[in-house]
């Protein structure tokens, strides 16, 4: 190839799911414009990232064997622009990042690709609460206070902190990923502050990925949705009770999807999780040091680095001490949603039972057929002897099928 590769490596909670969904659903249209989004399934780049980073993920990794090399081969075979995007790539080590860049054609002496690194970034004032909520939706039982304590622990050795900083600390992520890319090929897309026009982030993505002038279908239901304080508290309580008793597939479908995403996320009137005011000075000093570093490196910025500073929250409610009537209300809505779901499943089960009864009746009628009965008797007779089994084998071969009666 001699084209461009736009490699989007994070960070989580910055509109990445929306971007990926738009790219996935518009693959044919993008192809008409010479842009390849190489994915057979929505999570193809996620699997490739698991493979690249050797990251087990609740069994999903077993679907990821060779996924990165397959993705890289598709990228190299395309003569034009290619988009690769997944936010967990932010966690790659420097060596994994170098391997990824090389596999995509960066530095290939025969046919080098022009690799651009894109990273979308949001201020920590919003990222910290969002990441805690995401942890809760992934079965964490840690309270907000425990989560914040772990983030501030200097060694970052805990499960939560090691992951959080690996995928959120912008200067470190770019240090690991930039390798020998010139700064003008590294693009930082900043997430606009609250109150900005709704489509401003998308416009920035369009600019970063060169999607101007393409009439993309933007409809999507794959956006990650936020929960309020009572709703997050409820899910955390569910985790405390369900972690020992609910298997992963049931949790994914019923707790995360049905309860969190499809039910509780619609309760938009609840107070939102925010950064505690006492933590803000620490976060602010981190943000300042990050902005200074990113500015010094001279990366291309789409938006403004100043947006990474974040605004201190105007009000704060402790997510570990929610108003219990609100939690009860959220629980009641959850029960209704679960009852409705059980009702749908019962209806489906009854329909299936009716279908089974019809099929059984048909089977019984077929068995009453004298020709069928004769065939069955003959088959049993032949199965009893070596010669008979040979004859059956010859019959199957002559019929051209290897299938055998059950």
Partner 1 sequence: MTAWVEHLRAGGTTPWADFRRAEGDLATPVGAQQLEVLRRLNALGRPSADLVERVLRADLVGRGRGDLALSGTPEHRFGTPAVDPATLPPAELLRVVTGLLAEDVVAAGAPAPPRPRRPRFRRVRYRLHGDPWLAVPIREELVRRGYPTGGGRAMTFLVGRDLGSMLVDAWTRRALVDGVIGWEGWLAKLRRSDRLPPRADLLRQARWWQARVGHHCVRIVTDPALLPDILRVQGPLPQPPTVAANAVDLARRVAPMVGLLAGHDRREHLMRQGLLPLLADQPGEPLAVPARFRPWLLRQARAQREGLLAEGYAVHGDLGHLDPVERTSGGGSPSVEAVLELGLRMLLERSTA
Residues lying near partner 1 in the complex (CB under 8 A) are found at 50-51, 53-56, 59, 61-65, 91, 93-96, 154-157, 159, 162-163, 165-166, 169, 171-172, 175-176, 244-245, 289-290, 293, 384, 386
Q: How far apart are CA 387 and CA 263, in angstroms?
A: 65
Residue 252 is classified by DSSP as: I
CB of 244 to partner 1, least distance (A): 5
Q: Of 64 and 82, which CB lies nearer to partner 1 in the complex structure?
A: 64
CB of 372 to partner 1, least distance (A): 17
CB of 322 to partner 1, least distance (A): 25
Strand partners, 82: 5, 36
Let me know: does 19 contact 129? Beta carbons within 8 Å.
no
CB of 64 to partner 1, least distance (A): 6
Q: In sequence order, what DSSP letters do the residues of 190-251 get, joined into one string?
A: EPPPTTS-TTHHHHHHHHHHT-TT-------S------BHHHHHHHHHHHHHHTTTS-HHHI
- Return the sign of the alpha-carbon dihedral for residues 89, 264, 41, 208: negative
Q: Of 63 and 207, which CB lies nearer to partner 1 in the complex structure?
A: 63
CB of 94 to partner 1, least distance (A): 7
- Tokens of residue 60, six digits: 């999903």
- Tokens of residue 171, six digits: 């200067």
Q: Of 53 and 82, which CB lies nearer to partner 1 in the complex structure?
A: 53
Let me know: does 52 contact 122? Beta carbons within 8 Å.
no
Q: Residue 130: is it exposed, middle or buried by C-beta count within 10 angstroms (0-12/13-18/19+)? A: middle
CB of 401 to partner 1, least distance (A): 20
CB of 169 to partner 1, least distance (A): 6
CB of 285 to partner 1, least distance (A): 13
Q: Of 284 and 317, which CB lies nearer to partner 1 in the complex structure?
A: 284
Q: Of 91 and 236, which CB lies nearer to partner 1 in the complex structure?
A: 91
Residue 327 CB-half CA count within 13 A: 15
Q: How far is CA 332 from CA 72, 141, 393, in A?
A: 48, 21, 63
Q: How far apart are CA 90 and CA 287, in angstroms?
A: 18
β-strands 81-85, 114-121 pairing: unpaired
Q: Of 65 and 366, which CB lies nearer to partner 1 in the complex structure?
A: 65
CA proximity to 308, closest of 174, 184, 107, 183: 174
Q: How far apart are CA 325 and CA 229, in angstroms?
A: 12
CB of 177 to partner 1, least distance (A): 12
Rg of the chain over CA atoms, in angstroms? 28
Let me know: does 117 contact 178? Beta carbons within 8 Å.
yes
Q: Of 95 and 110, which CB lies nearer to partner 1 in the complex structure?
A: 95
Q: Of 42 and 163, which CB lies nearer to partner 1 in the complex structure?
A: 163
Q: Of 64 and 117, which CB lies nearer to partner 1 in the complex structure?
A: 64
CB of 199 to partner 1, least distance (A): 32
Q: Of 47 and 206, which CB lies nearer to partner 1 in the complex structure?
A: 47
CA proximity to 116, closest of 4, 2, 205: 4
- Tokens of residue 78, six digits: 């395309």
Strand partners, 81: 4, 35
Q: Of 154 and 197, which CB lies nearer to partner 1 in the complex structure?
A: 154
CB of 60 to partner 1, least distance (A): 10
């Amino acid at each position: 190839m001699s084209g461009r590769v736009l490699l989007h490596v994070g960070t989580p909670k910055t509109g990445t799911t929306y971007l990926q969904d738009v790219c996935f659903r518009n693959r044919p249209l993008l192809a008409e414009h010479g842009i390849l989004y190489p994915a057979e399934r929505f999570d193809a780049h996620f699997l490739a990232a698991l493979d690249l980073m050797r990251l087990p993920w609740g069994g999903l990794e077993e679907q990821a064997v060779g996924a990165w090399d397959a993705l890289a081969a598709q990228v190299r075979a395309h003569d034009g622009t290619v988009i690769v995007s997944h936010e967990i790539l932010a966690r790659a080590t420097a060596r994994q990042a170098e391997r990824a860049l090389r596999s995509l054609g960066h530095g290939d002496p025969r046919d080098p690709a022009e690799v651009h690194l894109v990273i979308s970034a949001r201020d920590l004032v919003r990222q910290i609460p969002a990441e805690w909520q995401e942890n809760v939706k992934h079965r964490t039982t840690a309270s907000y206070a425990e989560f914040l304590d772990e983030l501030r622990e200097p060694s970052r050795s805990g499960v939560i902190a090691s992951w959080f900083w690996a995928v959120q600390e912008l200067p470190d992520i770019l240090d690991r990923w930039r390798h020998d890319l010139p700064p003008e090929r590294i693009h930082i897309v900043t997430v606009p502050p609250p109150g900005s026009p709704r489509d401003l982030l998308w416009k920035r993505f369009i600019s970063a990925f060169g999607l101007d002038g393409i009439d993309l279908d933007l409809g999507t239901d794959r956006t990650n949705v936020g929960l309020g304080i009572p709703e997050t508290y409820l899910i955390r309580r569910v985790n405390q009770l369900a972690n020992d008793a609910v298997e992963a597939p049931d949790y994914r479908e019923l707790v995360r999807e049905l309860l969190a995403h499809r039910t509780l996320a619609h309760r938009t009137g609840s107070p939102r999780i925010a950064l505690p005011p006492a933590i803000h000075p620490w976060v602010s000093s981190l943000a300042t040091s990050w902005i200074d570093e990113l500015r010094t490196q001279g990366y291309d910025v789409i938006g403004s680095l100043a947006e990474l500073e974040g605004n201190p929250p105007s009000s704060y409610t402790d997510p570990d001490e929610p108003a219990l009537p609100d939690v009860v209300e959220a629980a009641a809505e959850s029960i209704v949603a679960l009852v409705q779901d059980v009702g749908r499943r019962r209806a489906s089960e009854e329909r299936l039972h009716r279908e089974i009864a019809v099929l059984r009746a048909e089977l019984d009628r077929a068995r009453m057929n004298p020709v069928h009965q004769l065939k069955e008797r003959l088959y049993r007779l032949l199965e009893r002897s070596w010669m008979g089994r040979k004859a059956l084998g010859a019959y199957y071969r002559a019929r051209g099928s290897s299938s055998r009666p059950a």
